[in-house]
Amino acid sequence: MIDQDALAFFNALSGKLKIELTEPAQQVAPHLLNLVAPKGARIVRVDLELEVFEDDDARPLTEEEWSRVVVRAPRIKMVSLDTPETVVETPAPHGGVFTVRDLQHAIARTEHASREDGEWMGGVDVHHVYFEGIELEDGGVWAIGWGS
């Protein structure tokens, strides 16, 4: 069961994926902000930072917002749009519900498990890191959207 209002709130959050690699990412060119991972670099850690963007400003989520239930299910299956063949299943940490915080962790877990399966400019995609929401696809799998 999905709380559509909570899902709309979640998908409206401003988010950025932080990817730590075994070797630091480099700029594609000095005049561009695009980052590229060195070939052979591996993912060490992935975190998703989320904020509420309102009134032309970003603010941290309140505890009430972090605790808002979005999906009621014993587990959730997710894929990154960059690597749709890698499905990552995450069990619900609190008895069959996924809060905003739980979804944040499930997305970071999915990206950690799947980003190395894709490739962007010869390495792990460290450029498409701006959260664009999640969408339920056929087969009960949630697709995570990323922008640059």
pLDDT digits (tens, 9 = 90+) for 42-91: 999 999 999 999 888 999 999 999 999 999 999 999 999 777 889 999 99
The per-residue pLDDT for 148 is: 84
Confidence grade of residue 106 (pLDDT, cut at 50, 70, 90): very high
- For residue 32, what pLDDT is reported? 67
- Name residue 89's beta-bridge partners: 77
CA distances from 32 to 28, 36, 86 (A): 7, 11, 30
Find where tokens 């999906």 sit: 71
What 3-state DSSP class applies to 82?
coil
Rounded to an integer, what distance in angstroms lies between the CA atom of residue 42 and that of residue 46? Answer: 11
| pTM metric for this prediction | 0.92
- Higher pLDDT, residue 147 or 27: 147
Report residue 121's pLDDT band, with 50, 70 and 90 as the boundaries. confident
* pLDDT score of 127: 83
Token code pair at residue 138: 């056929």
Quick one: average pLDDT of 126-135?
93
d(CA 19, CA 4): 29
- Residue 117: pLDDT band by 50, 70, 90 thresholds? confident
- Beta-bridged to residue 32, according to DSSP, are none
Model confidence over 10-34: pLDDT tens digits? 999 999 999 999 988 887 777 766 7
Q: Can you tell me the distance from the alpha carbon of 16 to that of 96, in angstroms, rounded to the nearest whole number?
A: 27
